[in-house]
């Protein structure tokens, strides 16, 4: 399977890993660090390995069988990873409310960055933007995100630790709007016309970002 065909799985795994870093202690979160392997397999941490098909089943249906080797060699760690995956899957259930919106948005942005780096069309769109950056926030929550290009990493999501001067900014008016955006359920143009999203700075760059976000959210399966 070609890399771009496997990209939705990698982006979903990166999104899960981003949520894990915000939800669990670093010792537990690192067990979910994803890596694409040969023979159409994907690893979480250094122990649990899924075939692409089984990992896809895990994301779409809430259940997928990992390779037995990892389960037998590291049963306790494998159980920890599966438990973490189950807890993260619960974040995507609407009935869990809006309090997890910052985590979900961070995970969604991580997946979009993966597309900006590895998707052919997304890479072409952002080729001329490597000196630019995007600041994203949820109003009145203190949740802030910064996307910029760093060689050789590429486009990456960073925590805002100091005053910055981004090329463009996007503000979600509330946790509910941010949650809908993270789950791919937000009508962007309607939200913009209603004032639920505020844009500033280089609008053409934000239009490119929205274009890539729609590609990613159309292709990437959400955890269940």
What does the pLDDT look like over 130-158, one tens digit per residue?
999 999 999 988 899 999 999 889 999 98
* 114, 82: one domain: no
d(CA 197, CA 202): 15
* 144, 82: one domain: no
Q: What's residue 95's pLDDT?
A: 65
Q: What is the pLDDT of residues 45-73, one digit of tens each?
A: 878 899 999 999 999 888 888 888 777 77
Three-state helix/strand/coil letters over the chain: CCHHHHHHHHHHHHHHHHHHHHHCCHHHHHHHCEEEECCCEEEECCCEEEEHHHHHHHHHHCCCCCCHHHHHHCHHHHHHHHHHHHHHHHHCCHHHCCCCHHHHHHHHHHHHHHHHHHCHHHHHHCHHHCCCEEEEEECCCCEEEEEEEECCCEEEEECCCCCCCCCEEEEECCHHHHHHHHCCCCCHHHHHHCCCEEEEECHHHHHHHHHHHHHHHHHCCCCC
* 77, 113: one domain: no
Q: What's residue 94's pLDDT?
A: 66
Please state the rounded mean pLDDT for residues 18-25.
93
Q: What's residue 96's pLDDT?
A: 60
* 11, 64: one domain: yes
* 61, 121: one domain: no
* 131, 167: one domain: yes
* 84, 119: one domain: no
Q: Is residue 96 part of a domain?
A: no
Q: Tell me the pLDDT band of 97, cut-offs 50, 70 and 90.
A: low
> How many independent structural domains does the chain possess?
2
Whether residue 125 is predicted with pLDDT greater than 90 in this model: the reply is: yes
* 13, 114: one domain: no
Q: Tell me the pLDDT band of 16, cut-offs 50, 70 and 90.
A: very high
Q: What's residue 222's pLDDT?
A: 82
Q: What's residue 1's pLDDT?
A: 41
Q: Tell me the pLDDT band of 2, cut-offs 50, 70 and 90.
A: very low
Q: How many other β-carbons are positioned within 10 Å of the β-carbon of residue 27?
A: 8
Contact indicator for 173, 195 with CB cutoff of 8 Å = yes
- What is the value of pTM for the model shown? 0.92
Q: Considering the chain, what is the average pLDDT of its residues?
A: 90
Whether residue 167 is predicted with pLDDT greater than 60 in this model: the reply is: yes
* 174, 214: one domain: yes
d(CA 182, CA 43): 24
d(CA 210, CA 188): 9
Q: Nearest CA to 187 among 214, 212, 221? A: 214
Q: Which domain holds residue 133?
A: 104-219
Around 92, how many Cα atoms within 13 Å sit in the side-chain half-sphere?
Answer: 23
Q: Is the peptide bond before 152 cis (omega within 30 degrees of 0)?
A: yes
CA 190, 196, 197, 200 dihedral sign is positive
> In angstroms, how far apart are the furthest CA atoms of the chain?
55
* 121, 215: one domain: yes
């Amino acid at each position: 399977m070609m890399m771009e065909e496997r990209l939705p799985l990698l982006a979903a795994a990166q999104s899960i890993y981003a949520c894990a870093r915000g939800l669990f202690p670093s010792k537990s979160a690192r067990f979910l660090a994803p890596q694409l392997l040969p023979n159409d397999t994907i690893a979480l941490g250094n122990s649990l390995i899924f075939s692409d098909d089984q990992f896809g089943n895990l994301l779409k249906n809430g259940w997928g069988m990992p390779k037995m080797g990892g389960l037998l060699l590291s049963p306790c760690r494998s159980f920890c990873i599966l438990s973490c995956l189950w807890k993260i899957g619960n974040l995507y259930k609407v009935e869990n409310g809006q309090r997890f919106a910052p985590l979900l948005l961070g995970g969604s942005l991580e997946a979009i960055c993966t597309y900006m780096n590895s998707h052919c069309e997304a890479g072409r769109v952002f080729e001329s933007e490597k000196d630019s950056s995007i600041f994203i926030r949820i109003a009145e929550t203190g949740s802030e995100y910064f996307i910029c290009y760093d060689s050789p990493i590429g486009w990456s999501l960073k925590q805002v630790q100091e005053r910055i001067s981004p090329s463009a900014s996007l503000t979600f008016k509330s946790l509910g709007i941010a949650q809908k955006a993270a789950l791919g359920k937000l009508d962007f143009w309607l939200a913009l016309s209603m004032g639920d999203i505020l844009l500033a700075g280089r609008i053409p760059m934000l239009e490119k970002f929205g274009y890539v976000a729609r590609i990613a959210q159309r292709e990437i399966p959400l955890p269940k």
